[in-house]
């Protein structure tokens, strides 16, 4: 992002703040944050009346990234803009610490699709959450806090968010099969993974609102624990055990020694989920989603890496993600062969 692009954004954002929140709408401390591989996230303070409001601008891929990322968009529906805002509101009503939305961007804002939410203080970087001394006291509590939050997410009334599509495990397998075929990078490990998933699909599961990307890195953590759950764009109606398994995928442990996000134990997660009314947890069922999660992440890496090569703009971040494909594939092999145990 060049200086002039950043200036352009600042002016548009100030106009949007005036339009939605009131004058003077001055924008200060505009900083692009590092997270969000598919979306641009900005931190800023907005002057409204006498107050300086700490806010976050989240622009969805349509505005922030080249259109060449489109192929996966059609396959994996994303919850963006006004729908994202409605989902966040429903989550807050269910007792989930989700961002409070202040602005849903409109076409006249010229900032693409997206939202402005209140900024919550805390750490999002997984490695820091797992290693910084200031989180040492709360780290042993995080897995249980995640279990209770997931139970609340799975209680969100689907009727209130009827725009969410349903995706069963079989639907997701079909989606990722299409991604693998689209990218046409024949890897024996990927084929092993997709076949294992097909042969181990769980039987009928409950259908709940699931977050879809609940993991270390999408949580804001403070010294008191999890303060906010971010990045709801992959939310859908599906098997709630997906969220528990995804949280255990090794990629999201950021080098931490424990299986739940690098910071906690599966038992603490499962027991807290059950205590909070999430329903009984079958560890083998969660492990299916952890293993499938490895394959999904591998194909996301492949798709982003090769998509960038196909497209007009090869960002260094995208090509680097392409080279991460072997990490989850090896983790998957460890899981299904019991090597890691």
Partner 1 sequence: MPASKPEPAALLEATIDYLERELLPTLTGYHRFQCRVTVNVLGQVHRELQLGAAQAEAEEARLRALLGHAGERDQLNRELAARIRAGEVPLDDRAVLEHVRLSLMEALRINNPKWLEPTGEP
**Cross-sheet strand order for the sheet of 114-118:** 24-32, 40-48, 51-59, 114-118, 101-104
Nearest distance from C-beta of residue 180 to partner 1, angstroms: 9
Annotate each residue in 182-211 with x if it binds partner 1 (CB under 8 A) or - if it does not, as one string.
Answer: ----xxxxxxx-xxx--x------------
Question: Does the footprint of partner 1 cover residue 136 (CB under 8 A)?
Answer: no
Position among 249, 258, 306, 308 found at the interface with partner 1 (CB under 8 A): 258
Under rule CB under 8 A, which residues in 44-63 are in contact with partner 1? none
256 is a contact residue toward partner 1 (CB under 8 A) = yes
Contact between 15 and partner 1 per CB under 8 A? no
255 binds partner 1 (CB under 8 A): yes
Binding-site residue total for partner 1 (CB under 8 A)?
40
Among 45, 123, 132, 334, binds partner 1 (CB under 8 A): 334
Strands in 69-216 per DSSP E: 101-104, 114-118, 208-210
User: Which residue lies nearer to partner 1 by CB, 73 or 132?
Assistant: 132
- Interatomic CA distance for residues 171 and 180, integer angstroms: 14
CA dist 238 and 277 (Å) reads 18
Can you spell out the DSSP letters for 204-256? S---EEE-S--STTSEEEETTEEEEE---TT-EEE-THHHHHHHH-GGGGTT-
Of 28 and 93, nearer to partner 1 (C-beta) is 28
* CB 26, CB 32: distance < 8 Å: no
Provide the 3-class DSSP secondary structure of residue 323.
Answer: coil
Stretch that binds partner 1, among 9-17, 107-115, 204-212, 258-266 (CB under 8 A): 258-266
Q: Please, what is the minimum distance in Å from the beta carbon of residue 207 to partner 1?
A: 28
Phi/psi of residue 209, nearest 5 degrees: -70, 120
Q: How far is the CB of 330 from partner 1 (least distance, A)?
A: 4
* Cα separation, 250 vs 58, whole angstroms: 27
314 touching partner 1, by CB under 8 A: no
User: What secondary structure does DSSP assign to 259-279, as a single string?
Assistant: TBTBTB-HHHHHHHHHHTT--
Helix (H) or strand (E) holding 57: strand 51-59
CB of 66 or CB of 160, closer to partner 1? 66
What is the binding site for partner 1 (CB under 8 A)?
A: 1, 31-34, 186-192, 194-196, 199, 250, 253, 255-259, 265, 316-317, 319-320, 323-324, 326-327, 329-330, 333-334, 336-337, 340-341
């Amino acid at each position: 992002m060049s200086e002039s692009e950043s200036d352009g954004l600042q002016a548009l954002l100030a106009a949007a703040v005036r339009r939605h929140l009131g004058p003077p709408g001055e924008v200060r401390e505009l900083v692009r944050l590092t997270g969000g591989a598919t979306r641009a996230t900005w931190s800023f303070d907005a002057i409204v009346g006498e107050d300086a409001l700490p806010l976050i601008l989240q622009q969805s891929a349509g505005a922030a990234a080249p259109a060449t990322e489109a192929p996966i968009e059609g396959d994996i529906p994303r919850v963006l803009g006004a729908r994202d805002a409605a989902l966040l509101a429903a989550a807050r009503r269910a007792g989930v610490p989700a961002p409070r939305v202040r602005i849903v961007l409109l076409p006249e804002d010229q900032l693409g699709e997206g939202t402005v939410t209140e900024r919550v203080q805390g750490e999002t970087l997984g490695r820091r959450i797992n290693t910084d001394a200031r989180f040492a006291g709360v780290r042993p509590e995080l897995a249980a806090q995640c279990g209770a939050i997931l139970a609340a997410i799975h209680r969100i009334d689907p009727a209130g968010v009827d725009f969410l599509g349903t995706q069963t495990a079989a639907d997701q397998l079909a989606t990722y099969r299409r991604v693998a075929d689209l990218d046409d990078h024949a890897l024996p490990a990927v084929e092993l993974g997709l076949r294992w998933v097909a042969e181990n699909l769980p039987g009928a599961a409950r259908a709940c609102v699931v977050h879809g990307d609940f993991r270390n890195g999408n949580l804001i953590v403070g010294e008191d624990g999890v303060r906010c759950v971010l990045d709801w764009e992959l939310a859908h109606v599906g098997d709630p055990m997906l969220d528990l398994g995804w949280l255990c995928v090794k990629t999201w442990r950021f080098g931490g020694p424990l299986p739940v996000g690098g910071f906690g134990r599966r038992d603490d997660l499962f027991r807290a989920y059950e205590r909070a009314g999430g329903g009984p947890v079958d560890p083998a069922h969660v492990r299916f989603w952890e293993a499938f999660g490895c394959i999904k992440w591998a194909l996301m890496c492949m798709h982003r890496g090769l998509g960038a090569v196909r497209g007009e703009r090869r960002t260094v971040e995208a090509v680097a993600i392409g080279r991460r494909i072997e990490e989850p594939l090896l983790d998957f092999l460890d899981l299904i062969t019991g090597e890691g145990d």
